[in-house]
Amino acid sequence: MASNRTLLAALSEQLEPKGTFVLGGESIILLGQKKLKVGERYPITFEGAVYELEITAIETTRFSVRYKNEEITRPIVITKSGK
């Protein structure tokens, strides 16, 4: 069984942010069709199971997510195709 850190790394690679913006002083990240703020959860299906990742930080060029007691920061990379 993979450690929570290894699992979080694999889960976070599934996230493809479309961008970020600030509304009413709160940072928001666009994940799929969802607009999420810090503290909100985003479900990911991975290898047949559903995991809930908590958004812990949103910046212009990166964001952080938590799963259980592990946290990871990932870059936000927007391509011309939006992928």
In this structure, what CATH number is given to the domain that contains residue 49?
Answer: 2.30.30
Tens digit of each residue's pLDDT (9 = 90 or more) over 33-49: 899 999 999 999 999 99
**51 falls within a domain:** yes
7: its two tokens: 């699992």
20: its two tokens: 């970020």
64: its two tokens: 């952080």
**38 falls within a domain:** yes
User: CA–CA separation, 7 vs 29, rounded Å?
Assistant: 22
Q: What is the pTM of this model?
A: 0.87
Tens digit of each residue's pLDDT (9 = 90 or more) over 4-33: 999 999 999 999 999 999 999 999 999 988
Domain around 34? 4-75
**83 falls within a domain:** no
Count up the domains in the chain and report the number.
1
**81 falls within a domain:** no
Collapsed DSSP state (helix, strand, coil) of residue 10: helix
Query: How, if at all, do strands 49-58 and 41-46 pair?
Result: antiparallel
**80 falls within a domain:** no
Position 61 scores a pLDDT of 92
